[in-house]
Amino acid sequence: MNNNTFLICLSIFFLSCNNNSKSKPSQVVIDPNPTSEMADLMRKMTQELKQVKLKLESNENIDKNLFQFALIHKQHVTDSSFNKPHIKPMSLSFGYAIDNFNTDPTTTNYNIIINNCKSCHQLSCQGPLMIINKLSITENQL
């Protein structure tokens, strides 16, 4: 009977190991924070800015009034630590930069938008700066 008990225990052990590996697939975390209105807006802006960067670098015509972004400071934040005094004035400055680009869609006005993003993120949430820096257009890229 000892052999049977040993075989049963061994079988249970192997089955439990096999089941665990099937029930826990590996996952890659793309967006580590819960999604807030502000986070959603910034992700949307990043995608649209990437598309416009490619058009500017290819000397394609850019439509006026292309960007229709909500004001950043009016969005719900991920948590209260993002409610900082500089957010509203920088959000308003960003809004002016968007309006200027929409009126005159040039590389210079595009880079002003990106510089607004950099300035705000240097003060509050530095994590996205690597992505934001890649959005800039330098003179030698044109």
Query: Looking at the 3D structure of the chain, how many domains does it have?
Result: 1
Q: 53-80, pLDDT tens digit by residue?
A: 999 999 999 999 999 998 888 888 887 8
Q: 13-35, pLDDT tens digit by residue?
A: 555 554 444 455 567 666 665 68
- As given in the structure block, the two tokens for residue 10 are 């061994």
Q: Which domain holds residue 106?
A: 37-141
- Residue 24 placed within a domain: no
- Residue 77 placed within a domain: yes
pTM over 0.75: no
- Residue 8 placed within a domain: no
- Residue 22 placed within a domain: no
CA distance 1 to 131: 65
- Residue 9 placed within a domain: no
CA distance 19 to 12: 10
* Integer angstrom CA distances of residue 74 from 4, 47, 69: 69, 20, 11
- Residue 29 placed within a domain: no
- Residue 93 placed within a domain: yes
Query: By C-alpha distance, which of 131, 136, 142, 132 is closest to 60?
Result: 142
- Residue 90 placed within a domain: yes
Fill in the amino acid letter for 125: C
- As given in the structure block, the two tokens for residue 71 are 């004001």
